[in-house]
Amino acid sequence: MIQARDEDGQGLSQEELKDNVLLMLFAGHETLTSAITSFCLLTAQHPEITARLRQEQQQWDTDSPLTLEGLREMTYLEQVLTEVMRLIPPVGGVFRSVLETCEFGGFGDDKVLQI
Ligand code: HEM
């Protein structure tokens, strides 16, 4: 962050650096703490899910370092984590608001994106 420069070669001011460090601490700490706590609570309440999670984890040798490849293969764990965050969202809402109308991929403020 100290070294970052925008397209005009400008770096972050002392105040902006402090704000960003605080943001990273808050965004990276509170969210994960909440998600992991909810994961512990819900898996304790659902032993059959915990058993299936353990079964999936037994595929990997715990003495070997965790790899990104291995993480990607933990599909059941990912499903459970996603469901935990659906049931108990770590972030209850966001505080952003639209400042001006815009268009993205052919969609503007007068069209609704159909998924
Ligand atoms: C389960 C974990 C996490 C959840 C549920 C989560 C959720 C979110 C959400 C909903 C936003 C959007 C807020 C908004 O639109 O105003 C956000 C933004 C952000 N998150 Fe996370 N987050 C998680 C983990 C982390 C971690 C680990 C980090 C950093 C180490 C992080 C850094 C950030 C940052 C920097 C932003 C702002 C991005 C921007 O300015 O556009 N988050 N997060």
Q: Ligand 1 pocket test: pick from 87, 88, 91 the residue with the most ligand atoms within 8 Å of its Cβ.
A: 91
Give, using CA atoms, the residue closest to atom 40 of ligand 1. 23
Distance (angstroms) between ligand 1 centre and the Cα of 22 equals 13
Tell me how far the alpha carbon of residue 33 lies from the centroid of ligand 1, in angstroms.
13
On the 0-12 / 13-18 / 19+ scale of CB atoms within 10 A, 82 is exposed
Domain extents in the chain: 14-87
Q: How many CB atoms lie within 10 A of CB 84?
A: 22
Ligand 1 atom with the shortest distance to the CA of 23: 35
Q: Model confidence at 109, in pLDDT bands (50, 70, 90)? A: low
Per-residue pLDDT, 112: 52
Predicted TM-score of the model (pTM):
0.76
- Measured CA to CA, the distance from residue 111 to residue 74 in angstroms comes to 38
**Dmax (CA) of the chain:** 56
Q: pLDDT tens digits, residue range 25-59?
A: 989 999 999 999 999 999 999 999 999 999 999 99
How many angstroms is it from 41 CA to the middle of ligand 1?
22
